[in-house]
Amino acid sequence: MPIQAHTPVYAVIGDPVAHSLSPIMHNRALAACALPGVYVGFRVTDLPAAIAGIRALGIRGVSVTLPHKVAVMALLDDIGDTARAIGAVNTIVNDAGQLKGINTDGIGALKALETATHVTGRRVAILGAGGAARAVAWALSRAGAKVALFNRTADKAETLAWQLNLQWGRMKDLSAWRAEILVNTTPVGMAPGIGALPVPEAVLDPAMVVMDIVYNPMETALLAAARRRGCTTVDGVQMLVFQGAAQFERWTGVAAPVTAMRLAVIEALSPQF
């Protein structure tokens, strides 16, 4: 649709942000739904000024990426319960100048996993103890999964597990957890380090469902190893799309065109391989 003076503007803010696939995904969603709007990326180093700009310019909705997901919380008018529990905001909804922070990362991870399996009552091992691990662990535990955190720095896993009332373990003890679902929330395996594995291949049981939130490459070394072992796999594009779909629906009130959004991301990634 033509961009006019009254066209709604959406954006992603972060540093860096040039690599983000959110503009491709959300602009495809707007077009698929025949909605007016344009989604752009802004590299932000001065976060308070950027938030003031969102208010002043009436930017309708904003995705928040690293390194601003925590710092942005103090600058908003309201924080949703999920975002407060997770301790991070990845989405800003502008309601007539009132900025509300929400978090769709957790629900994105849950919906991604649910394309392959149910999580209620399942034993889940989450690799990592950063912001992504917090969001995924919170969502899966709320959905009834039995979650344990594993991290190379055991103290971080222990701290996060204590905060979320979950179990934790050292990486060397991962097999003892007998996970039915394994989720990698670390950057291990992300381009350009695409050959790295976050865990030894021998840890992967054929009965496992293995998800990697890394989406570039779509098939990480972990997912390739899991496929060789006979595991069911879920790629990072699924989580990216489902968290984006939740953002889109909050901003527009329209059901997200998930298939079109996923196709847009796959098309953007495909020329690299």
State what percent of residues in the chain have pLDDT above 90.
Answer: 95
Whole-number average pLDDT of the chain: 96
Domain ranges of the chain: 9-103+238-272, 107-234
Answer yes or no: are the C-beta atoms of 138 and 91 closer than 8 Å. no
| DSSP letter for each residue of 54-110 | HHHHT--EEEE-TT-TTGGGGGSSEE-HHHHHHT---EEEEETTEEEEE--HHHHHH
Radius of gyration, CA atoms only, the chain: 19
Strand order in the sheet with 146-151: 167-170, 146-151, 123-127, 181-184, 209-212, 232-234
Q: Is 128 exposed, middle or buried (0-12, 13-18, 19+ CB in 10 A)?
A: buried
Bridge partner residues of 147 (DSSP): 124
CATH fit for domain 9-103+238-272, picks 3.40.50.10860, 3.40.109.10, 3.40.50.300, 3.40.50.150: 3.40.50.10860
The CA-based diameter of the chain, rounded to the nearest angstrom, is 60
The one-letter amino acid at 94: N
Model-wide pTM > 0.85? yes
Q: For the chain, count helices (H), then strands (E).
A: 9, 12
pLDDT band at 193 (very low <50, low <70, confident <90, very high): confident
pLDDT tens digits for range 229-246: 999 999 999 999 999 999
69 in catalytic set:
yes
Which residues have a Cβ under 8 Å from the Cβ of 105 and sit 6 or more positions away? 86, 88, 90, 132, 135, 136, 139, 239, 243
- Each residue of 67-102: pLDDT tens digit? 999 999 999 999 999 999 999 999 999 999 999 999
Model pLDDT, residue 123: 98
d(CA 212, CA 234): 7
Would you say the CATH fold of 107-234 matches that of 9-103+238-272? yes
Looking at the predicted structure, is the pLDDT value of residue 249 above 60? yes
Q: How confident is the model at residue 273 (pLDDT cuts 50, 70, 90)?
A: very low
Per-residue pLDDT, 252: 98
* Active-site option among 69, 100, 146, 172: 69
Per CATH, which fold does 107-234 belong to? Rossmann fold (3.40.50)
Average pLDDT of the residues in 23-48: 98
SS3 assignment, position 205: coil
